[in-house]
Amino acid sequence: MLVKPEEISSIIRKKIDNYEEKMQVDEVGYVIQASDGIAKVHGIENCMSGELIDFGDNIFGMALNLEKECVGCVLLGGETEVKEGTMAKRTGKTVTIGVGDDIIGRVVNPLGEPLDGKEPYKIDAYRDVEFLAPGVMSRESVNQPLQTGILAIDAMVPIGRGQRELIIGDRQTGKTAIAIDTILNQKDQDVICIYVAIGQKGSSVASIVDTLRKNGAMDYTVVVSSTASELAPVQYIAPYAGCAIAEYFMYEKHKDVLIVYDDLSKHAQAYRAMSLILRRPPGREAYPGDVFYLHSRLLERAAKLDKEHGGGSITALPIIETLGGDVSAYIPTNVISITDGQIYLESELFFAGQRPAVNAGLSVSRVGGSAQTKAIKKLAGTLRLDLTQYRELASFAQFGSELDQATTNKLAQGERALEAIKQQQYKTLSMEKQVVILYALTQGYLVTVDKKNVGRFNDELVQFVEEKYPDLLKEIAEKKVLEDGIKENLDKVIKEFLELFNA
């Protein structure tokens, strides 16, 4: 069949009209200076702040300083390979981390690379490491408790889902222990946990992973690790990467998530080191001027979303290390003002054998009370009062003056309250068991028990109720309110146990 010339020309014209010009233009520059994990790149004029820069051989950096002549990049690995003259290419995107359901139970670095020797996990989505916090209109007030399983905290400094509660104290006062116990207590609570280790020793992270694995907590936990041996930029993005993983489960899966940042003091130090090498002007204590924004933009991402936005939540437990109990230092005051309360751990209490070493006077929760179960809320009010009065009276009693009966009784009650809130690590208590212990304490049943035996009394009482009256525990767990019927049963059970205990 002959094709007419005009038909040929119309076909060609159609093809030309539908032709899409596909041409890829990469903006490329060269490293003009590289040292201490920082590379200065010349030739990428249109670079964005926070953009991912490709240095080849799977080495990436992040653009932070946009200067007139060059761009200051922090390297996320491969600091020995990037030299003067190395080619650097813009990627046009910000730093992201691959996330997916398979990340649960894994130990990864802040770039999402596995550190547990297993195969890479299946990636369902990529999330930006830096992400805008949800606005006020998409949030709802904190109204659901997040039980830590630690009696002193759940009673006096309760934490709600969507809250940011700071754990603060000197070195070696049990800050990480509280965070790990809280993770262990989320078993069967439908909460995903993320533990972010910033600047920790590799051996410490390994032992934490081992503890979580032994207690079956790795089934719902992700560990993001950036050890002390890693570059400052890797430590800097670690908490943001952990938060991006948490946001995947909150926004996409509508889950409740608990995230622990251990610890933000080292995070601020890593940022300071990075900023000073980038020649950013130092401010107070040599920290750069935006060190407050560093933590506020991270912790603001913790939220409880309303039903319209899926109803998930992120609860943040940032950890801050103080020096000599100085809560008024720069970084501690910054983070205190960002969070919704703090659990203050005191060295004196810790070394006096009070574990957890929670200072009831300085610890506070600004929203947890509204998320606390009514049963514990009713019993905990008198507990804080007992401890406060005991501290005041104990300082007078040491002068050896004669005390009246009322003062002696208050001292005895305070001593027993201090003993009752002592708790061993990894031995968390469910809400109903806490109610039984608090009821026995606040109703004065422990007055006849020697203060040395209070811990044993509580352990055996819980065991007794568990074995002989499991229905009572079940009723407390279901109703969450101290009704008259529950009170009568508790009185009867505790009296019965007291007779056995004293015998």
**Which CATH number covers residue 403?**
1.20.150.20
CA atoms within 13 A on the CB side of 222: 32
**Domain annotation covers residue 15:** no
**Domain annotation covers residue 183:** yes
When pLDDT is averaged across residues 451-480 and rounded to a whole number, the result is: 94
Token look-up 């949800």 returns 134
**Domain annotation covers residue 205:** yes
**Domain annotation covers residue 299:** yes
pLDDT of residue 147: 95
Where is pLDDT greater, at 7 or 253?
253
pLDDT bin (cut points 50, 70, 90) of residue 20 is low
Distance CA 324, CA 404 (A): 37
When pLDDT is averaged across residues 44-53 and rounded to a whole number, the result is: 93
Distance CA 349, CA 119 (A): 45
Are 473 and 420 in a shared domain?
Answer: yes
**Residue 421: is its pLDDT beyond 90?**
yes
Are 84 and 141 in a shared domain?
Answer: no
Last residue of a domain, one of 371, 399, 417: 371
Q: List pLDDT tens digits, range 293-341.
A: 999 999 999 999 999 999 999 999 999 999 999 999 999 999 999 999 9
SS3 for 384? helix
- Is residue 366 annotated as a catalytic residue, yes or no? yes
**Residue 69: is its pLDDT beyond 60?**
yes
pLDDT bin (cut points 50, 70, 90) of residue 150 is very high
Are 213 and 326 in a shared domain?
Answer: yes
pLDDT bin (cut points 50, 70, 90) of residue 503 is confident
Are 198 and 297 in a shared domain?
Answer: yes
Number of domains comprising the chain = 3
Are 313 and 419 in a shared domain?
Answer: no
When pLDDT is averaged across residues 189-214 and rounded to a whole number, the result is: 97
pLDDT bin (cut points 50, 70, 90) of residue 456 is very high
**Domain annotation covers residue 356:** yes
When pLDDT is averaged across residues 20-32 and rounded to a whole number, the result is: 78
Q: What secondary structure, in 3-state letters, does 85-140 show?
A: CCEEEEEEEECEEEECHHHCCCEECCCCCECCCCCCCCCCEEEECCCCCCCHHHEC
Cα separations in angstroms, 169 against 144, 194, 343: 27, 21, 8
- What is the β-pairing status of strands 51-54 and 87-94? antiparallel
Last residue of a domain, one of 339, 371, 403: 371
pLDDT of residue 100: 96
Of the candidates 486, 491, 411, 478, which has an alpha carbon nearest to the alpha carbon of residue 451? 411
How do the residues of the chain divide into helix, strand and coil, expressed in percent and rounded to 5?
45, 20, 35
**Residue 396: is its pLDDT beyond 80?**
no
**Residue 1: is its pLDDT beyond 60?**
no
CATH number, domain at 75? 2.40.30.20
Joined tokens for residue 182? 């809280």
When pLDDT is averaged across residues 119-129 and rounded to a whole number, the result is: 95
Last residue of a domain, one of 371, 397, 427: 371
Phi, psi (degrees; rounded to nearest 5) at 454: -60, -45
CB 273 within 8 A of CB 288: no
CATH number, domain at 272? 3.40.50.300
Are 410 and 471 in a shared domain?
Answer: yes
pLDDT bin (cut points 50, 70, 90) of residue 78 is confident
Which strand ranges, in their side-by-side order, compose the sheet holding 191-200?
107-108, 221-227, 191-200, 256-262, 313-321, 166-169, 341-345, 364-365
Range in 4-13, 129-138, 139-148, 234-243 the model is least confident about: 4-13
Catalytic residue among 280, 366, 384, 391: 366
Where is pLDDT greater, at 1 or 350?
350
DSSP 207-247: HHHHHHHHTTGGGGEEEEEEETTS-HHHHHHHHHHHHHHHH
Residue 96 pairs in a beta bridge with: 128
pLDDT bin (cut points 50, 70, 90) of residue 148 is very high
pLDDT of residue 21: 58
**Residue 111: is its pLDDT beyond 80?**
yes
**Domain annotation covers residue 6:** no
Q: What secondary structure, in 3-state letters, does 457-473 show?
A: HHHHHHHHHHHHCHHHH
CB 426 within 8 A of CB 185: no
pLDDT bin (cut points 50, 70, 90) of residue 386 is confident
Write the single-letter amino acid at 397. Answer: A
Joined tokens for residue 27? 């903006």
Give the list of residues 6+ apart from residue 59 with CB closer than 8 angstroms, or none: 75, 76, 77, 78, 81, 82
**Domain annotation covers residue 11:** no
Distance CA 61, CA 82 (A): 10
**Residue 22: is its pLDDT beyond 90?**
no
Query: Which residues in 123-144 are b (16+ Cβ under 10 Å) and which e?
Result: eeeebebbbebbeeeebbebee
Of the candidates 311, 284, 316, 323, which has an alpha carbon nearest to the alpha carbon of residue 300? 316
**Domain annotation covers residue 198:** yes
Q: What angle do CA 311, 314, 320 make, to 5 degrees?
A: 160
**Residue 45: is its pLDDT beyond 60?**
yes
* Burial zone of 443 (CB within 10 Å; 0-12 exposed, 13-18 middle, 19+ buried): middle
Are 176 and 304 in a shared domain?
Answer: yes
Are 258 and 116 in a shared domain?
Answer: yes
Phi, psi (degrees; rounded to nearest 5) at 114: -65, 140
CB 50 within 8 A of CB 236: no
Are 175 and 285 in a shared domain?
Answer: yes
* Burial zone of 322 (CB within 10 Å; 0-12 exposed, 13-18 middle, 19+ buried): buried
Of the candidates 454, 382, 444, 448, which has an alpha carbon nearest to the alpha carbon of residue 418? 454
pLDDT of residue 403: 78
Are 328 and 476 in a shared domain?
Answer: no
Joined tokens for residue 208? 């934490």
Are 346 and 469 in a shared domain?
Answer: no
pLDDT of residue 408: 84
Instruction: Give the percent of the chain with pLDDT over 90.
Output: 82
pLDDT bin (cut points 50, 70, 90) of residue 232 is very high
Joined tokens for residue 178? 């509280």
In the chain, what is the straight-line distance between the N-terminal and C-terminal CA atoms, in Å?
113
pLDDT of residue 10: 75
The parent domain of residue 37 ranges over 28-94
Are 332 and 384 in a shared domain?
Answer: no
pLDDT of residue 284: 93
